[in-house]
Amino acid sequence: MTVRARIIETGAAVPDRIVGNEELARLTGISAGSIRRRTGILERRWAAAGEATADLATRAGMQALERAGERPEDLDAIIVSTTSPDTPLPATACHVQRLLGARHAFAFDLSASCSGFLYALSVGEQMIGAGHARRILVVAAEVKSRFLNFNEGETAILFGDGAGAAVLRPAEDDRGIRAVTLGADGSLADLIGIRAGGSRLPPSEKTVAEGLHAITMQGPRLFRRAVRRLETAVIETLKAQALVIGEVRWFVFHQANGRLLDKVTARLGIPPDRSISVIERYGNTSSSSLPITLDAALQGGHIKTGDLVLLAAIGSGLTWGTALIKW
């Protein structure tokens, strides 16, 4: 019999610096009111100088471990989802392992953009099911503020920094991760990405001068694709599990922007009181937005034991995923 994995506890961390719409208005030339109307965002957090992805990941991970009553040295594995690593190598997860003092854990990164937490959750779930690990720390962490071009204001106004974490252990009852479904479509890779910095277009004076190390996005096309793909992913997951919208207590979506969240929930017929959003406070924190939002829902007392919770995300690649969890 396959062992089911369960999220025992969560944690979250964001930088201290709050960046409001007035500050971004000065940087981009887009008015504060327009930023709010277009995105639903009031403020976001940006990392301080010298503050890196691993620092935020470690804070979120330690918080989750303390809440779970676990010691870092008892971890079997650390999985970090990020597209803004501290260094090209070694993996950010190895920095996190060192900072936590989790000396017995193996550690690695994966990269699936805004869907990354679900990809990491799926890997952790499979490791527990196969008996390869019993205590796993899954972290999604991003410092996107280092990759913004304020001349492309429509993109720059969206992103913030942060980290979210989850401690996985084998479930001892019928609670836990029921299903994780993942997908990708590389033919749409041009909709959002960073053009330079890898082996195809290595860093140079020219790439820096041309702003090719910043996030670039085809907003309208991406919006349309993301809405349809997220809607379809949720419908397919519910159908595969023989469920309907009304049987799921909470829906937690990647916090891309407020308009997208409103559109997806409206198309699916999800009542406002069954969807959690933190977009106003944190903006789009890429792969960390899902666990940050999940943590907010748990700490706010919204999610109760026995609730069915559906997580869903879409990101660059395009990649997407869903997870159905009985809490």
Alpha carbon dihedral 86, 88, 90, 95, in 10-degree steps, equals: 10
Chosen domain end from 142, 173, 204: 173
Closest residue by Cα to residue 57 from 20, 107, 104: 107
Under DSSP, is residue 64 helix (H, G, I), strand (E, B) or coil?
helix
In a shared domain, residues 109 and 184: no
1 to 26, 130, 267: CA distances (angstroms): 58, 10, 38
What is residue 1's predicted lDDT score, i.e. its pLDDT? 60
pTM to 2 decimal places = 0.97
In a shared domain, residues 103 and 50: yes
**CATH code, domain carrying 27:** 3.40.47.10
Residue pointed to by tokens 């979506």: 253
232 to 152, 211, 248, 326: CA distances (angstroms): 30, 35, 16, 21
In a shared domain, residues 156 and 198: no
- Please give the positions annotated as active site: 114, 254, 284
Instruction: Please name the residues in contact with 80: beta carbons below 8 A apart, sequence gap of 6 or more.
Output: 57, 91, 92, 93, 96, 107, 108, 109, 110, 120, 139, 140, 141
In a shared domain, residues 93 and 201: no
35 to 26, 40, 142, 177, 284: CA distances (angstroms): 12, 7, 22, 37, 13
In a shared domain, residues 166 and 230: no
Buried b (16+ CB within 10 A) or exposed e, 143-174: bbbebbbbebbebbbbbbbbbbbbbbbbbeee
Look at strands 17-20 and 176-184 and give their pairing: unpaired
**Measured between alpha carbons, how far is 248 from 245 in angstroms, rounded to an integer?**
6
What is residue 2's predicted lDDT score, i.e. its pLDDT? 77
Chosen domain end from 145, 173, 201: 173
In a shared domain, residues 259 and 182: yes
pLDDT in single tens digits along all 327 residues of the chain: 678 999 999 999 999 999 999 999 999 999 999 999 999 999 999 999 999 999 999 999 999 999 999 999 999 999 999 999 999 999 999 999 999 999 999 999 999 999 999 999 999 999 999 999 999 999 999 999 999 999 999 999 999 999 999 999 999 999 999 999 999 999 999 999 999 999 999 999 999 999 999 999 999 999 999 999 999 999 999 999 999 999 999 999 999 999 999 999 999 999 999 999 999 999 999 999 999 999 999 999 999 999 999 999 999 999 999 999 999
What is residue 115's predicted lDDT score, i.e. its pLDDT? 98
In a shared domain, residues 41 and 134: yes
In a shared domain, residues 12 and 128: yes
In a shared domain, residues 86 and 65: yes
Under DSSP, is residue 242 helix (H, G, I), strand (E, B) or coil?
coil
In a shared domain, residues 214 and 94: no
Chosen domain end from 111, 145, 173: 173
* Sign of the Cα pseudo-torsion (271, 272, 278, 283, in order): positive
Neighbours of 301 (CB within 10 A): 7
Number of domains in the chain: 2
In a shared domain, residues 190 and 298: yes
**Measured between alpha carbons, how far is 302 from 295 in angstroms, rounded to an integer?**
10
Neighbours of 110 (CB within 10 A): 19
Under DSSP, is residue 217 helix (H, G, I), strand (E, B) or coil?
strand
Q: Which residues pair with 180 in a beta bridge?
A: 323
Provide the domain limits for residue 318.
Answer: 178-326
In a shared domain, residues 169 and 133: yes
Side chain identity at residue 15, one-letter code: P
